[in-house]
Every structure is written in C-alpha cells, then in structure tokens.
Amino acid sequence: MNKLVAGNWKMHGLSSDLAEIKAIDDASRRYPSVDVALCVPAILIERASRAVPNFAIGGQDVHYADKGAHTGCVSAAMLVDAGAVLTIVGHSERREAQRETDAEVKAKAEAALSASLRVILCVGESLEVREAGGAVETVLAQLAASLPDHADAARLAIAYEPVWAIGTGKVPTNDEIEEMHAALRRRLIAAYGDAGRGVRILYGGSVKASNAAEIFAVPEVDGALVGGASLKAADFMPIVAAAAVGG
Ligand code: PGA
C-alpha cells in the first residue's frame, strides 16, 4: 500500500499559486511509491487540474445532494467536472464552523464515492476530550457514525486529526498516534471485513518536515494530511520524501 500524502490548502490559493502546484507536481514524480495530492479551494480546482493534468487535485468539502437549492455549495459531480479526483469530508474546521454532523459527513462521503471520487474522511478529538482520557472512545464513535456503509477500501482514507494539533505545532506522542490508529484499524476491519485493512489511515495535525519521518514510522500510519506545510513545495516535498523512505 503506497503512503498517501495529501495537502489541504484550506482558504489559501490564487492563480498566482499555480506555479507552486506545478512545482509540487514536478517534484512528486521523483517519488512514485507515494501518492501525492493537493486539496485546493473549489474555485481553483479547474485551473489546477488543467495546469497539472496527471496530478491528483481534490476538493475540501462536497455537498451530499446531487443538485438543488443549496446556495454556495458544490456537488460531487461538479468536483469531478472541474477535474477533481478526491475530496476531504468532515474536516474539524467544517464540523465546528459549519456545524457539520456525523450523519452529514457520512452522506457526503457516500455521495463522493458514488461519483467515483476518492475520499479522505477526517475524525479527531478536542483537547478537553484528550485530557479527560476519552480520545479513543470519542473518535471511534465519530468514525462509526460517519463511515460510509459500503466503500471501496482503496478509494477511502481516514485522517486522524486531533483538533488540538491542527495548526498549533503540537503533536500527539507516537504512542498516542499508534493507539488511535490501531483502534481505527480494528473498527475498519469490523465494518468492512478484510477490506478494512486496505483503507489508508492518515495522521494530520502539525505535520512538517522535521517530524514527518518519525510519524510515518508509527505502525498503521499510512500517510498524512498536511495543512500549513503543504502550501510551498519547499516545505511539502521533504514530507513526501519521508513517506517514500518509510514506505
Ligand atoms: P496543519 O493542518 O498541518 O496546518 O496542522 C492540518 C489539517 O487541518 O488538515
């Protein structure tokens, strides 16, 4: 199983940043054993996918409906039409700011998979929950409620992103990551049988060049979802290189 290193550009990226996307595409060809992707703002997807036609460009969210009266939203068919091959669903910033529920995240994942997109489904606990000792239980409950009922394992990835580690420079210990990823793996096997072994489990939250190799060496870490450090090739490519060594 190739490691997957996906960048989440969040609300960053203008036409002037297409050169950075081209640089990441170019440099990624040196690492054929790593699947590299960039999830860019919806409005940039078409330009990005035209600029780097053989590189995986994705969205950061998708609506669960095919079409309809949903002002400001983007459907899975629209993402595909613009050239996306994957999408993130259930990122904690959307679960919080847009009050997305597990049920909505599940419906979004199912809509995206039905449209042939690959999906990165995010789960993660708050600092309060981690400090109270309820991290594994909380994240497993989130997964159980947001996991698509049927999924082609090869097209689904789970990103474990502790909310308190996103954009903060703080990361869980290797033991904490290992415990969570092992629990997620067991739950995926319970849900999908043997195919659950083929779902990649990514770690996300303050991944950077200096900690990537250590994180990729943790059992059941099949890649990373990278925010801030994915915006520039110079920061992102060392993470891809670390995944190639670890894989
Ligand atoms: P970060 O973001 O790498 O900037 O912490 C990760 C994410 O939110 O996916």
Instruction: Report the residue among 120, 126, 211, 225 best suited for mutation to probe ligand 1: largest number of ligand atoms under 8 A from its CB.
Output: 225
Tell me, what CATH number does 218's domain have?
A: 3.20.20.70
Local confidence pLDDT in tens for the 247 residues of the chain: 999 999 999 999 999 999 999 999 999 999 999 999 999 999 999 999 999 999 999 999 999 999 999 999 999 999 999 999 999 999 999 999 999 999 999 999 999 999 999 999 999 999 999 999 999 999 999 999 999 998 899 999 999 999 999 999 999 999 999 999 999 999 999 999 999 999 999 999 999 999 999 999 999 999 999 999 999 999 999 999 999 995 5
Where helices occur in 115-232 by DSSP H, the ranges are 127-131, 135-146, 174-192, 209-216
Q: Which two tokens stand for residue 209?
A: 């060049």
Residues in CB range of 39: below 8 A, 6 or more apart? 6, 7, 8, 9, 57, 58, 59, 60, 86, 87, 88, 120
**Termini Cα distance of the chain:** 8
pLDDT score recorded for residue 150:
85
Residues in CB range of 146: below 8 A, 6 or more apart? 90, 102, 103, 105, 106, 109, 121, 123
Is the model's pTM score more than 0.85? yes
Atom number, ligand 1, closest to the C-alpha of residue 122: 9
Instruction: Report the residue among 5, 94, 206 best suited for mutation to probe ligand 1: largest number of ligand atoms under 8 A from its CB.
Output: 206
Domain count, the chain: 1
CA of 225 to the centre of ligand 1 (A): 7
φ, ψ of residue 35 to 5 degrees: the values are -90, 120
Are 212 and 240 spatial neighbours (Cβ–Cβ below 8 Å)? Answer: no
The residue whose C-alpha atom lies closest to atom 2 belonging to ligand 1 is: 227
pLDDT score recorded for residue 246:
58
> Which among 78, 11, 24, 87 has a CA at the least distance from the CA of 51?
24
Pocket of ligand 1 (CB under 6 A): 8, 161, 166-167, 204-207, 225-229
pLDDT score recorded for residue 143:
98
pLDDT score recorded for residue 151:
86
Domain that holds residue 21: 3-246
pLDDT score recorded for residue 247:
53
